[in-house]
Structure formats: C-alpha cells, structure tokens
Structure 1
C-alpha cells in the first residue's frame, strides 16, 4: 500500500502533467488564433486591393469612374415601334351640342404668342354642325384634315380663325413620339427647334374643354394639347398616326386624311433628333415646318 508521501508525489506529478497539457493547449490556441487573424488580414488586404483596382461598387464607383460625357448622360433616342394600320373610330357625342352655341375664349398671359398676336375668335352664335376642311402644307408634305364642329364647335371655331389669320404659317412641329405615344405635336408660335424651351407658346387666349367620356386616341385622330389644367388649350394640337394610350382629357376636334397619315408615317420613320425631358418624345430629326395652312372655301 502506498504511503502518504508516495500519494503526495503521485498527485504532484499528475498536477504537473495537467499543467503541461494546459500549457500546450493554450499554445496551440494562440497559434491557431494567430493564423486566423493573419488569414483575415490577408483576406481584407486582398479585398482592399481588388476594390482599388476594380473601382469598387455603389457610390464609390461613380466617384472613381471618369465623369460621363454629355452624350452618355443624355437619354437614349427612342426607336420607332410598329405603326398600326387600322384607323381609330371617330367618337360621337352622347348628346349633341346646342346649335348655335356660345364659346368663351379667356385671355392667357401664361402662353405668349410672341410676334404673332391673333385676334380672339368670335364666340357668339357658333355653329355646332358640319365640318371644315383644311390643309397643313409642310416641308414634309401636305397634311389634309377635317375639323368636326359637332365634336368640338368652340375648338373648331378657334382653329379655323387662327388658320385664316395665318397664325400657323412658318411655325414648326416641335414634338414627335415614336413608341407608346405616336404623335406629332404642332402649334407653338415660339418654337425654334429647342427641345428644352419649345412647347410653351400659345395664341394669347385659351379654349374651353370639349372632351367627353369614352374618347379614344389612335391613328387618324386630331386633338388639342393642354397643360393638364381645366380649359387650358390654346393653339397647340397633336396629330395621332399610331398608338396613343391617353386619358380622355384632350379635346378631339377632327380627323387626318389617308394622305396626311402617309406624311406623318414618313416623319415618324425619319425619327427623333434630340430627346426631351420625358425621355420618350423629342424634336423631329428632320424639322417639320408649316409653309402655309389653308381652309377650303
């Protein structure tokens, strides 16, 4: 049987072995920890090098990249989509307008007429029956149209008056759409072919709204432009040669002839030059100017 002295010595040796094993384990942990830290440092350093060399991501990319040129910052020019061949049916009023009717043309200081200062149309005893045939002679070809008094007597009265006063002669069509909004917009007396400033002018007076529920805009439709405010139409109008998914808030006042649509198709195929702020429409690539506008006797 072991003596007390022997037991104490055995316990001491056991404790020493435990301390040695603990020290060895601690040493291994330090080695492993140092390796992990070193690996992390290497990984981080590698990522930093990669970020610096590749330009990074997010906001840093914009800062590290060279500034975009004026051409790259401009919106891409839309390309022409398919033009429908089917005409859109002309709308019919659910209730006819009284004949004759009265029209109010309010003064408009927000849409200046520039050097063109037309007289305000006569607003009393305006006919709401019959049609008016007119031809917009342009540098792209003649665009015959038919104005329908039954649809919009006050609008037809105003447009006819402006034509007879020579208001539209030597004005340009400043806005062309070739994708979801296939239109040619004209009638700004101050348009100069500058996509940033065109589209602000008018005749110096406004027209009353004459749209009604159920109106559809599509190939062959002639309608008034406005500022999205009530009774804000003036001299600007748009000719629809294709698709135009729009709310029924633009007065339809006539139709475009087959020959006129052929001219519009050709204008659309020539395409857009400079794109406007909406990124979808812009100045026609080949300027379209009205050289004369006539009303049939």
Structure 2
C-alpha cells in the first residue's frame, strides 16, 4: 500500500502533467491563430496582387488597343501628288531669309534648325490644324515628311496668332483654277511675314510636267516666284491645273470641304472669275 507521502507525490506529478498539457494546448492554439492570420494576409495579398496584375494587364491591353485602333488621318478628297523623289532625313535645317518688305504683322521667324520630318507611316502630322472662320471650320492635315519647312512655318505663324483677324482676300472660279487664297494680314495680296523660304514639294520632282493637277482639298503655298514663300497659302475647292511651282503641304479634311463649297457658291465680288469673295472669310483662330 502506498503511503500518504507517495500518494501526495503521485498527485503532484499528475497535476504537473495536466498543467503542462494545458500549456502545450494553449501554445498550439496561439500558434495556429498566428498562422491563420498570416495565411489570411497572404491570401488577401495574393488576391489584391492578382487584381492589380489583371488590371495592369487589362490597362496594357486597353492602351495597346487604343494605339492600334487610333484613327489614322483621313484620306484627301483627291489623290496627293507622288512623294518626294529623295526623302528627307529625320531632321533638317530650314532657311527663313529676311525680305526687303517688313512684316505685315509683327511676328518672329520660326525655329530653323533640327526640324523633324517624321510623321505617321505616310509622313502626316498626327494631329491636324483647324482654321476657324466666320463661314465654318477648315481642318487641315499636313504632310511634314515632304514639306517640313513649310509645315514648320505654318505652325509657327498659327501659334503666334499671325492669321487671327485676317481675311481670305482672293478667290478664283475659272474652269482651270478654283482656289481660295488666305494668309495676308493686309488683304491686298502683297503682305507677308517679313521673311521668305525655299520651295519644297512637288517642286523637287525630276519628271514634273508643265501642268500638275492640284486636286480638290489640297493646301499649297502662294508665291511671287521661286523661293518666295511666306505666309500666303491657298485652299483648292475644285481640281485645278497649275505649274508644279507651288509647295503642297497638306489637305482639307473632307468633312470641312463644305465650308469651302459654301464660300465658293456665294461667288466673287463683281461677278468675275478672280477677285475678292462675296462671303467674308475672316479667320478668327488657327489651333492645333
């Protein structure tokens, strides 16, 4: 028979084992609770990360889709002349030489060095310029690859507000020539920006014919002879036959040809084939 002392010692050992088991169970519960919290955080992070990756992937796809589906510049109403015989390098220098006559309106010559010639695959500026007139808008698409110094000049004049408040002073309506001429602040046909620059496209064509069709919608520079480009330009509202001596630098968006038609339908002052248009074509702004 165990003595009382032995029974007390056995009871004490039993209690000690129970306490140790309870402590172990408590420790395991705490560990499992911590592990569960960690797993939960990891799962949440993974879900959030997955959402972020998916969203990023979706955004990338959206961006790619936007870039691949962005609208290309619309085609001109009439075919443009063939491209330059010899393409320009990516950057060119231009010369804007002072003229004896002062500027018809205060303006600075454009930057002349490092002018880019790259546009889209067809050499077109990705964004158009828009001429706002009292008769309606005239949206212009410009081909910088073939006439970079001309496009550079037009953008410079537009951004300096040179064309604002000027009128398109001349219109022709013969069978061979249907154009509206603009860009002279004096309205006399003699005003310019105080500098001039060389002809570009299609003057460079080696096989140019005596007459070239400047098709409906084309935009070209008016001049007083070789190398006298300044600020005056003309908009072709009907196919016209001209010597290839006038630099072509873009075309009017087909949606805005109705503005030119509206002006042409009102005729010329005095009823002739060359003179001031009856419709007052005031340019209020050129933006782009």
Same fold (TM over 0.5): yes
The reply to whether residue 173 of structure 1 matches residue 168 of structure 2 is yes
Instruction: Give secondary structure in 2 for the equivalent of 1:293.
Output: strand
Instruction: Give secondary structure in 1 for the equivalent of 2:114.
Output: coil
Gaps of 5+ in 1: 1-85, 192-197
CA distance in 1 between counterparts of 2:254 and 2:270 reads 28
Contact 1:212 1:248 in 2 (8 A): no
Deviation at 1:280, TM superposition (A): 3.0
The reply to whether residue 261 of structure 1 matches residue 257 of structure 2 is yes
Deviation at 1:155, TM superposition (A): 0.4
CA distance in 2 between counterparts of 1:224 and 1:149 reads 14
Gaps of 5+ in 2: 1-75, 120-124
The reply to whether residue 248 of structure 1 matches residue 223 of structure 2 is no
| 4+ aligned runs moved over 2 Å, structure 1 | 211-216
Q: Which of 69, 88, 109 is 1:97 aligned to?
A: 88
Contact 1:88 1:216 in 2 (8 A): no
The corresponding residue for 2:111 is 122
Instruction: Give secondary structure in 2 for the equivalent of 1:284.
Output: coil
Contact 1:212 1:249 in 2 (8 A): no
1:1-150 correspondence to structure 2 within 5 Å: 87-91=77-81, 92-110=83-101, 112-114=102-104, 116-130=105-119, 131=125, 132-150=127-145
The corresponding residue for 1:220 is 217
Partner deviation per Cα, 1:118-174 (whole Å, 9 max, x = no partner):
111011000111115100000000000011111200000010000000000000000
- Normalised TM-score (structure 2): 0.66
Instruction: Give secondary structure in 1 for the equivalent of 2:255.
Output: helix
CA distance in 2 between counterparts of 1:217 and 1:236 reads 17
CA distance in 1 between counterparts of 2:151 and 2:100 reads 22
Deviation at 1:257, TM superposition (A): 0.4
CA distance in 2 between counterparts of 1:274 and 1:227 reads 25
Deviation at 1:186, TM superposition (A): 0.1
CA distance in 2 between counterparts of 1:207 and 1:262 reads 31
Partner deviation per Cα, 1:6-38 (whole Å, 9 max, x = no partner):
xxxxxxxxxxxxxxxxxxxxxxxxxxxxxxxxx
The corresponding residue for 1:273 is 269
Partner deviation per Cα, 1:257-290 (whole Å, 9 max, x = no partner):
0122110011000111146xxx631100121000
Instruction: Give secondary structure in 2 for the equivalent of 1:287.
Output: coil
